[in-house]
Structures are given as C-alpha cells and as structure tokens.
Amino acid sequence: MGGYMELTARSACDIVDLLNRGEVTPLDCLDALETRAATVDGAVNALPTLCFDRARDQARRLMQRPLGSRGRLAGLPVPIKDLTDVAGVRTTHGSTIFADHVPQTSDILAETIEAEGGVIYAKSNTPEFGAGANTFNDVFGVTLNPWNTNLSAAGSSGGAAVALATGMAWVAQGSDLGGSLRNPASFCGVVGLRPSPGRVASSPGATIDRLLSVSGPMARSVEDTALLLDAMTGDNPEDPMSLPRTENFLAAARSGWRPTRIAFSADLGITPVDPEVAAICRTAAARFGEIGVVVEEAQPDLSEAHDTFQVLRGLSFATNYAGLLERHRDKMKPEVVWNIEKGLSYSMQDVVRAENNRAAMFRRMSAFFDTYDLLLCPATIVAAYPASERYVNECAGYTFSNYVEWLAIAYAITLTTSPALSLPCGFTGDGRPVGLQIVGPARAEGSVLAGARALELILDLRSGTPIDPRSPG
C-alpha cells in the first residue's frame, strides 16, 4: 500500500475489503486521515473537532477481534455531525450555548455505527442547530466549498460533504430535514441519501414521532453510501420510529436493477430554478434513455409544500428550542429565533391544516409511483453561492420571502417521506458541481440506490473527488 494520499483516494468499499483481509489496519486508516486533515482542513474548516486518541483506543479494541468479525465497517473511520452526541467528545450543535458541552453518553446512531465497526474520529461542522443551508456558526466559523473556497458548502451537513470531497473521510454521517444532506452533497460533488423516516434509529429528543428530520449516509459514490446505510440501519427499542433491518442496501445498489419509466421535473411545479442547473439536470436524467429507460416530464401535485413545511418546521423548532429561547435569546442567530417564534405563533388550526395537507401530498406521491419507478429533479435550485451570503435571497428573478424558501425542491420531498438521493450529475460553466435528486417510493431505498448507481455509471463522474481545496483566481 502506498502513501496516505493513495489510501484516502480509495473507495470506502475498497478500504473495508482491505481491512477485512488485514492488508491495512484501522490505525493505518486513522493515520492517513489525520495526515490529510492536517494538510487540507485549514483551508475549508470541515472537521473542527478531532478525537483521534479516542478513535485509536476504539480501533485497538476492535483489532482484538478476528478479521471478518469486526462489523460491516470493519474499522472504517467515520466522522459524526456536530448535532449528534458522541460520548466524551465535544458536541456543540453549532451553538455558543453548548460550546463546552461534552456528553457522557452517545446517541443511538453513534452507538449503532460503532457496533458495526465504525471508528469515530471527528465531528463535522454544522450551522447552529442545523438551521439554514449554509454551514457557519459562532463556535467554529464557516465551512468553505473546496471547489472554490469563496463559496458556500451548503448545509447543514456541510462539514461532512467537504470532508468527503477533500479526502478527509471515506464516508460520513449527516442529517436532513429540509435538504441538509442533499444540499451540501449537491454543492460539493458527493452523494447524500435522505432515507425514509425510521430507517436509521436515533435518540428521541423533545418528540418521539419524527417524520421530518432523519439521519443518513454520505459518501463519494453510490456504493459507498449504501455501505454506510447498511451500518446505520436497524430497529432499536429506544427509538419507537425505528424500522427493522430487512434489506442489504449495498447488494441492492449492486443488483443491476434499473427503472422502466422515470419522471423528470425541473421545478416540481413549486419553485424557480436557475436555468443552467435545470438544463444540467435535465440532460443527466435524459441519459437514462441510453439503457432503455423511458424518461417523461411529469411531477406529482406538491402545491401545498410551502405552507405545510413552514408550519411543521416551525412546530418542530418551537418544540425543541422554545425553552432555550427563553434563557438564551442573545446567543441565538436571528434565523433560529425567527423559526422558533414562528412556530409558537401558529394556531391549532394551522397545525391541522398542515397535517392534512401532508397526508394528501403523501397519498398523491404514492399514486404517482404507480406510474413511475423514480422521480428526478434538481437537488438544489442553484449551484454554490458566496459563503459570505447567509442564504439564497433570489433565483431566476424571484425573491424569496424567508431564509428557507429556496430549499423547496428538497423540503417538498421531505414531506412525502420518500427516500431521496443527491447524485453528482455535472458542472456549471464555471466549475461548480450540480446534484440530481433521485426520489423513490416510501421505504424504497434499494430502488433509489440501484437507480442512482445505474446513472452514476453512465455519467462516469466518480473520479472527480477527492480534491485539494481550490482558491478562486
């Protein structure tokens, strides 16, 4: 095996194979990532909290077990988003309120990954409480896009996406409410999968019946994403939403399944989209025709998405953070304050309307998949924008009314519970990555992964990462 660059450039599946054969050790992997992080993270700020000593202790314990019996990840290192507790590791939630917080216990999700042989070595940067699709906070600062370090990495899993794109991670855990996995995957040229609610168990917070926010895998390829999903899944009695493990998702991704008929929509009928982004995604979707797939322009009726998401997101923020607002308003960014106060202002009538509309959207989406195997659309409506801008204010001549409205093409899918994957599908004329969103029926992650891999092989963009951070000019 060559130097650390050769190792970090390999796929996660390759590394796991090497680990299972004993050709590299988990300690070798950690050494490679520590060297790579020391080389590039200063330019992008993706992994602000490192815990290599803890990781090496974990790796040594894992290495006491025989080869082939060290879990699905076999000692593969994994960074965890700074919204998720890891025992003994500083976990800030991107907030100065928790700047010195060191949890004593881990979230169910972190425990699951470690039980499957994942070695946690870092926390990836996130905006305050994961709010807003631009990764910056007052604890660690801004995470920058490695394709152009003047640009945003999106968010809220921006640190995870940048770590992947720069070779500081083979796989990464993220979370997604209104596109928090899909947006940074799109901006950074990697893969991010939002799974169905319950697919990945996590520790309940203020509510136990979460349908909006889920955790999911990110990686540089579809196969590697499926590998991590397999290590994240399974039911847990401490999470009443969690689903049993019923499928091998890596096997599904490699199955060779391909859709018969897919739909493409540039805007889902609900949002402006940058014309160049729309054209890149349409061209990529059309290439399914090269393997005999029928591609048609169509979309389900998701017209209630804006109002429904604003109410349910507001309700979620109020439920989770109203107490913190009472005690720490001065430490919260204005967008979070707005979201909490908006949630507190809604009436029961507003909540009833939103829940009824969400149910109607779910039924329409389910019926849509009676005709189409997959739905394709842009993962984001723009490519990466300047990191100095807190959020996207306008697109294609339309000015947004608030800081999350530009995310509608992602949050509309969230409301339907459908699994959705962002796949790198091309670049703008000035070299910014663009992601194509691939959506499947509820709980059909296997079909989404298999369809995404089929298109990934056609597009052949997998060699684009990892990259060294690139300064403009």
Looking at the predicted structure, is the pLDDT value of residue 463 above 90?
no
User: Helices 408-416 and 305-328 meet at what angle, rounded to 10?
Assistant: 100
Task: Summarize the confidence of residues 412-441 as an average pLDDT.
Answer: 98
**d(C-alpha 255, C-alpha 450), whole Å:** 7
> Residues near 235 by Cβ (< 8 Å), separated by ≥ 6?
201, 242, 243, 244, 245
Give residue 369's pLDDT band: very low, low, confident or very high (50, 70, 90): very high
Is 153 part of a structural domain of the chain? yes
Is 473 part of a structural domain of the chain? no
- Confidence at residue 209, expressed as pLDDT on a 0 to 100 scale: 87
Is 223 part of a structural domain of the chain? yes
Catalytic residues, which ones?
81, 156, 180
Is 278 part of a structural domain of the chain? yes
User: Contact, 30 vs 121, CB < 8 A?
Assistant: yes
The burial class, CB within 10 Å (0-12 / 13-18 / 19+), for 473 is: exposed
**d(C-alpha 204, C-alpha 246), whole Å:** 22
User: Contact, 441 vs 369, CB < 8 A?
Assistant: yes
Q: How far is CA 258 from CA 249, 281, 420, in A?
A: 15, 19, 16
pLDDT > 90: percent of the chain: 96
pLDDT > 70: percent of the chain: 99
**Digit-coded pLDDT (tens) for 241-284:** 999 999 999 999 999 999 999 999 999 999 999 999 999 999 99
**Digit-coded pLDDT (tens) for 186-204:** 999 999 999 999 999 999 9
Least confident stretch, 24-28, 51-55, 463-467: 463-467
Least confident stretch, 13-27, 297-311, 389-403, 449-463: 449-463
- Confidence at residue 203, expressed as pLDDT on a 0 to 100 scale: 96
**d(C-alpha 344, C-alpha 325), whole Å:** 11
Is 472 part of a structural domain of the chain? no
Task: Summarize the confidence of residues 2-23 as an average pLDDT.
Answer: 92
Looking at the predicted structure, is the pLDDT value of residue 3 above 80?
no
**Digit-coded pLDDT (tens) for 152-169:** 999 999 999 999 999 999
Looking at the predicted structure, is the pLDDT value of residue 375 above 90?
yes
Is 470 part of a structural domain of the chain? no
Looking at the predicted structure, is the pLDDT value of residue 296 above 70?
yes
Structural domain tally of the chain?
A: 1
- Confidence at residue 464, expressed as pLDDT on a 0 to 100 scale: 84
Task: Summarize the confidence of residues 283-297 as an average pLDDT.
Answer: 98
Least confident stretch, 30-34, 282-286, 469-473: 469-473
Copy the structure tokens of residue 172.
Answer: 């990464």
**d(C-alpha 144, C-alpha 45), whole Å:** 7
User: Contact, 132 vs 57, CB < 8 A?
Assistant: no
Q: List the domain range (segments joined by +) for residue 246.
A: 4-464
User: How many CB atoms neighbour CB 21 within 10 A?
Assistant: 11
Residue at token pair 């913190």: 324
Q: How far is CA 343 from CA 30, 296, 335, in A?
A: 43, 38, 12
**Digit-coded pLDDT (tens) for 317-351:** 999 999 999 999 999 999 999 999 999 999 999 99
User: Contact, 271 vs 143, CB < 8 A?
Assistant: no
Copy the structure tokens of residue 159.
Answer: 């640190």
Copy the structure tokens of residue 350.
Answer: 């507003």
Nearest alpha carbon to residue 152 among 141, 143, 165, 161: 143
Question: Which sign, positive or negative, has the C-alpha torsion 408, 412, 417, 422?
Answer: negative
Q: Residue 424: which CATH number?
A: 3.90.1300.10
- Confidence at residue 107, expressed as pLDDT on a 0 to 100 scale: 98
Is 469 part of a structural domain of the chain? no
Task: Summarize the confidence of residues 228-246 as an average pLDDT.
Answer: 96
**d(C-alpha 275, C-alpha 404), whole Å:** 20
**Digit-coded pLDDT (tens) for 80-101:** 999 999 999 999 999 999 999 9
- Confidence at residue 119, expressed as pLDDT on a 0 to 100 scale: 99
Amino acid identity at 88? G
**d(C-alpha 190, C-alpha 79), whole Å:** 15
- Confidence at residue 89, expressed as pLDDT on a 0 to 100 scale: 98
Is 302 part of a structural domain of the chain? yes
> Residues near 99 by Cβ (< 8 Å), separated by ≥ 6?
92, 139
